[in-house]
A and B are shown apart, each in its own frame.
Chain A
Amino acid sequence: MCLSIPAKILEINGQQGKASVGGSVFDIGLQLVENVKVGDYVLVHTGFALEKINEEEALLTIRLLDELSEHSNIEP
Chain B
Amino acid sequence: MKYIDEYRDKRAVFSLIESIRKISKKKVRLMEVCGGHTMAIHRYGIHSLLPENIELISGPGCPVCVTSQVYIDKIIEYAKMPGKIITIYGDLLRVPGTQSTLDQEKTKGCDIRIVQSSLDSIKIAEENKTKEIIFPAIGFETTTPATAIALLEAKKKGLCNFFVASAHKIMPPVMEVLIRDNSEIDGYIGPGHVSTIAGSKIYDKLVSDFGISIVVSGFEPIDILQSIYMLVKQIESNEPCVAIQYTRAVTHDGNLKAQQIVSEVFEPVTDTWRGLGKIEKSGLKLNAGFSSFDANKHFPVHIEEKPEPANCLCGQILRGINKPTDCKLFAHSCTPEMPIGACMVSPEGTCAAYYQYRNLLNRDPRVPETDIQ
A residues bordering B, Cβ < 8 Å?
Answer: 1-4, 6, 8, 21-22, 29, 31-34, 41, 43, 45-48, 50-51, 53-55, 57-58, 60-62, 65-66, 68-69, 71-72, 74-76
Structural contact, A48 and B146, CB atoms closer than 8 A: yes
Q: Which A residues are CB-close (under 8 A) to B226? A: 61, 65
Q: How large is the interface on B (under 10, 10 to 19, 20 to 34, 35 or more residues)?
A: 35 or more
Q: Which A residues are CB-close (under 8 A) to B348? A: 1-3
Asked if B333 is an interface residue, CB under 8 A from chain A, the answer is no
Q: Which A residues are CB-close (under 8 A) to B16? A: 65, 68
- The 6 residue pairs across chains A and B that have the minimum distance between CB atoms: A47-B117, A72-B15, A57-B247, A58-B248, A6-B3, A2-B36
Partner of B36 from A3, A48, A57, A72 at Cβ < 8 Å:
A3
Asked if B124 is an interface residue, CB under 8 A from chain A, the answer is no
Partner of B191 from A2, A53, A54 at Cβ < 8 Å:
A2
Structural contact, B196 and A46, CB atoms closer than 8 A: no
Could you count the A-B residue pairs with CB atoms below 8 Å apart for me: how many are there? 141
Partner of B3 from A32, A33, A58, A68 at Cβ < 8 Å:
A58
Asked if B202 is an interface residue, CB under 8 A from chain A, the answer is no
A74 to B12, CA, bound (A): 10
Structural contact, B9 and A1, CB atoms closer than 8 A: no
Structural contact, B346 and A1, CB atoms closer than 8 A: yes
Structural contact, B249 and A51, CB atoms closer than 8 A: yes
A42 to B63, CA, bound (A): 23
Quote the shortest CB–CB distance from B32 to chain A (angstroms). 11
Given contacts A47-B117, A72-B15, contact A1 B146 (CB under 8 A): no
A22 to B4, CA, bound (A): 11
Asked if B89 is an interface residue, CB under 8 A from chain A, the answer is yes
Q: Which of B73-81, B204-212, B254-262, B356-364 contacts the other chain? A: B254-262
Structural contact, A46 and B143, CB atoms closer than 8 A: yes
A41 to B4, CA, bound (A): 12
Structural contact, A34 and B248, CB atoms closer than 8 A: no
Structural contact, B1 and A21, CB atoms closer than 8 A: yes
